[in-house]
Copies of this chain bind each other. A is one copy, B any other.
Amino acid sequence: MTPATRRARARRGEGELLRAEILEAAERLLIETGDQGAVSIRAIADAVGVTPPSIYLHFADKNKLLAAVCEVRFQHFDAFMTEATAGIEDPLEVLWARGRAYVRFGLDHPEQYRILFMTRPLTDVAPGELDRLPGLAAFGHLVDEVARCMDAGAIAAGDPFLVATSLWTAVHGITSLLIARPDFPWPDLDRLMAHLIDVHSRGLQGPAPAP
């Protein structure tokens, strides 16, 4: 594959345009190839119509680039889950809708999900900017909804953080295994999710363990 047509140089002050084009091309390659390893700096540069070093004018290294790609995608993560719960009154149903949305989002964006939640963090998170952790806002909302369920008596009173963490690991378990082991003879996803919700809706109503 010969290099794509050379990209026209941006006008003065418009250098940031390249950054956006790089992000777009990188995500497109990530989705098309389905392989993080195939998304090389050279392949991205080629897709954009630019030489490899130009990438480094906008991203310190490859990890930062991939992190940026995922950050863009996951800005929609929390919003997507919140939308999925719009108009639902029952706080317990809100929880289940959120869980279903989580799994769906992960399976719709498997490569980004893999980078964000199935590999070690690409960029070390400095203490103090923990709030910029992707998905942390979403987790906060989950804790809130769990607390709301407890207040409404929909689930047994207890530690909302502990319950939220457990719910997170539950939906992550399904999402990540489906992504990592697609060759396993999985039962129908809807059945699996229904069972998960069934178990939890019953299991969370009993007395919580002592904190």
Considering the complex, give the chain B residue whose CB is closest to the CB of A136: B184
What string of 1s and 0s marks CB contacts (under 8 Å) between A177-203 and chain B?
100110100110001101110111111
Q: Is A107 an interface residue (CB 8 A)?
A: no
B117 touches A196 (CB 8 A): no
The DSSP consensus for interface residues of chain A is helix
- A165 lies within 8 A of B183 (CB): no
A110 CA to B152 CA, complexed, in Å? 40
Binds B, one of A6-14, A49-57, A166-174: A166-174
Q: Which residues of B contact A163 (CB under 8 A)?
A: 195
Number of A interface residues, CB 8 Å? Answer: 42
Asked if A165 and B186 sit within 8 Å, CB to CB, the answer is yes
CB pair A199–B200 under 8 Å, yes or no, is yes
Q: Do residues B192 and A165 form an inter-chain contact, with CB atoms below 8 A? A: yes
Please state if B166 and A196 are interface contacts (CB–CB under 8 Å). Answer: yes
- Shortest beta-carbon distance, A122 to chain B, in Å? 11
Q: For A162, what are the chain B residues with a Cβ–Cβ distance below 8 Å?
A: 187, 191-192, 195
Does chain B have a CB within 8 A of A209?
yes
Q: Does A5 contact B (CB under 8 A)?
A: no
- Min distance, Cβ A206 to any Cβ of chain B, angstroms: 5
Closest to A211 in B: B191
Other-chain residue from B125, B180, B205 in contact with A118 (beta carbon distance below 8 A): B180
Contact A209 B191, beta carbon cutoff 8 Å: yes
Check A187 against B199 for contact (C-beta < 8 Å).
no
Q: Which of B119, B121, B165, B187 contacts A165 (CB 8 A)?
A: B187
Q: Is A161's CB within 8 Å of the partner chain B?
A: yes
A203's partner among B120, B172, B194, B202 (CB-CB below 8 A) is B202
